[in-house]
Structure 1
Amino acid sequence: MPVDTTNPDKLVLTAGADSAEVYYFGATLTSWKVDGQERIFLSKDAILNGTKAIRGGIPLVFPHFGTVETSKLPQHGFARNSRWELLPQSAGSDSETVVQLSLKPAQVPESLRSLWPNDFQLIYTVKLSASNLTTTLDIKNTDSKEWEFTSLLHTYFRIQDVAKVGVRDLTGRSFVDKVAKGARDQELRDVVTIASEVDRVYENVEKNEIHIVGTGLGKDVVVHKKNFPDVVVWNPWVEKAKGMADFGDEEYHNMICVEVGKVADFVKLAPGESWSGSQTLIVA
């Protein structure tokens, strides 16, 4: 069957020779296999019992990216720390499988909910087809007052060797270098490579196709983004890796985060308004 719901913790999607796994906790996609080849990185030390955000996969960032001075919420908000609900509209065929998950305030842990007391509905759509994975986040203000947010798809890509991977299509873009305490700079390279800790927010990236090359896993990956203007590139490198209990000391060699989002500026939503952003990952 295209969607296996027998596991109480996660969904398993299949479409032809491809598959994906999505946990209800955080609606976090933790696996995407194309012709049997895993393309998503999940730490061997990731905690999967719902007590902590999952280290790897595609964590969902909402209502804000990172930490914000005006909010007491933990880093990246609460969407990745809440248990989502499967919606009945999910459908499937032999060639394409679709599931939708929903998050409303009542599903958010009270300790987090009280820190952001706004009404909302999030709908996350995962569509799997041959060599393609599309993830779409729809955000609706169901409150009687305006509120604002930032959002991001924090995708961890599995790679063979971080020394050989590169990210194209960021040439000329300005970025915030979080390793350099928020200094601003401009990307002059045709291919962004990793040789030390990297944590950069590339703002207003005009190109809607970002190529990840040199994955060491055969074909490259193309990220098609829609309504997510910003791109974050992250690798923790040696010291940060050692400092994360849910991340192996040497695992930085085998992953790179290329994250599409709307994070440089807040989006304001009036009551009843909606916003949507998506990415399509293609192995080509």
Structure 2
Amino acid sequence: MNHSTADRDQRAPVEVRKDKNGIDQVVLQNSRGASARVSLHGGQVLSWKTDRGEELLFTSSKAIFKPPTAVRGGIPICFPQFGKRGLLEQHGFARNKIWLIDDNPPPLPTNYSPSKAYIDLLLKPSEEDLKAWPHSFEFRLRVSLTVDGHLNMLSRIRNINGKPFSFSFAYHTYFAVSDISEVRVEGLETLDYLDNLCNRERFTEQGDALTFESEVDRVYLSSSDAIAVFDHEKKRTFVIQKEGLPDVVVWNPWEKKSKSMADFGDEEYKQMLCVDGAAIEKPIVLKPGEEWTGRLELSVMPSI
């Protein structure tokens, strides 16, 4: 019996509700009361809460929830590119499209742990997408919540084109933090990074941990598969585990940039930090019929 049959038999009920723009949102809840909310606008996780109801993701008070604008917060999916180049919009089109609920996904990879609370989503290119990026694909996304309240995201992108194509990718995760000046990130020490504030010039991380006192916009290259974000004031640590995603984006817009963003509050940079599992420096290349898998697991634990 494959996972998709096995876990469907004991699957937790999934609630689907509409937002104020009539877009379906799926609410996942585990047996202990932790929850996640996923919008079909962008296949985007908008909320992830502990069993005590504490929100772990940041969403701007000025976020726009109406396609084709991307939602500022949660976990936007950047595909088929990260950043801006060519005909494609900033960070690609996946985060702006309406996804479908996938009722019959193909079997999951054998090393993937099944969960009772999950949703499968599907994105296929529209005519408009094919004009900007002329490649046929199927993008399957499973979002699941484990018994322990971990948030899992599994992306599977298949080339159903007659020729190879390449893409870059990121789970652009906005973590909610108490105060950015009280946060440190570990797991990036000694890595090379591309600094987007210095024309993507390459540097090497010198510190034992990354702390924040000004704007940061970096792509750390070939990182380990586990990164930790410590929030001293809230005494909690986010752990980011990833597979198929060699790079890590770290972003905080700080004061000046925040004021230039229409969908972001002037002071909100203090309450958020983006740390993304990503594949950016070396684009993923898929031959016809090939499939790529990228997995992210987010967990939170108390820290001293």
Q: Spell out, residue by residue over 1:37-81, the C-alpha distance to the aligned partner (whole angstroms, 9 max, x if none).
A: 10001111111122300101100011111123xx21011111001
Q: Which residue of 1 aligns with 2:281?
A: 264
Secondary structure, aligned partner of 1:259: strand
Q: TM-score, normalised by structure 2?
A: 0.87
Output the aligned Cα RMSD: 1.4
- Give the C-alpha shift of residue 265 in structure 1: 1.0
Q: 1:51 to 1:105 in 2, by over 3 A?
A: closer
Q: Spell out, residue by residue over 1:77-121, the C-alpha distance to the aligned partner (whole angstroms, 9 max, x if none).
A: 11001100011148xxxx730111000013xxx544311011000
Q: Which residue of 2 aligns with 1:187?
A: 205
Q: Are the equivalent residues in 2 in contact too, given 1:209–1:224 (CA < 8 A)?
A: yes
How far apart, in 2, do the equivalents of 1:115 and 1:51 lie?
15
Q: Which residue of 2 aligns with 1:20?
A: 36
Q: Are the equivalent residues in 1 in contact too, given 2:245–2:295 (CA < 8 A)?
A: yes
Q: What amino acid is the match of 1:88?
A: D
Query: Which runs of no fewer than 5 residues in structure 2 stay unpaired?
Result: 1-11, 106-114
Give the alignment partner of residue 96 of structure 1, picking from 101, 106, 116: 116
Q: Are the equivalent residues in 1 in contact too, given 2:59–2:74 (CA < 8 A)?
A: yes
The alignment status of 1:144 with 2:155, answered yes or no, reads no
Percent of pairs with identical residues: 39
Q: Which runs of 4+ in 1 moved over 6 A?
A: none
Q: Which residue of 1 aligns with 2:93?
A: 78
Q: Which residue of 1 aligns with 2:5?
A: none
How far apart, in 2, do the equivalents of 1:282 and 1:19 lie?
13
How far apart, in 2, do the equivalents of 1:234 and 1:277 lie?
21
The alignment status of 1:29 with 2:42, answered yes or no, reads no
Of residues 159-168 and 59-68 in structure 1, the stretch that sits farther from structure 2 once superposed is 59-68
Q: Spell out, residue by residue over 1:174-201, the C-alpha distance to the aligned partner (whole angstroms, 9 max, x if none).
A: 0011112222111111110111000000
Secondary structure, aligned partner of 1:163: helix
Q: 1:215 to 1:84 in 2, by over 3 A?
A: farther
Question: For 1:214-229, what aligned pairs fall within 5 Å after superposition?
Answer: 214=231, 216-229=233-246
How far apart, in 1, do the equivalents of 2:232 and 2:132 lie?
40
Q: Are the equivalent residues in 2 in contact too, given 1:89–1:99 (CA < 8 A)?
A: no
Equivalenced residue count is 274
Q: Spell out, residue by residue over 1:205-257, the C-alpha distance to the aligned partner (whole angstroms, 9 max, x if none).
A: 1x211000026334211001111000010000011101110000100000000
Q: Which residue of 1 aligns with 2:218?
A: 200
Q: Which residue of 2 aligns with 1:255?
A: 272
Q: Are the equivalent residues in 2 in contact too, given 1:159–1:215 (CA < 8 A)?
A: no
Secondary structure, aligned partner of 1:200: strand
- Give the C-alpha shift of residue 132 in structure 1: 0.4
How far apart, in 2, do the equivalents of 1:199 and 1:219 lie?
23
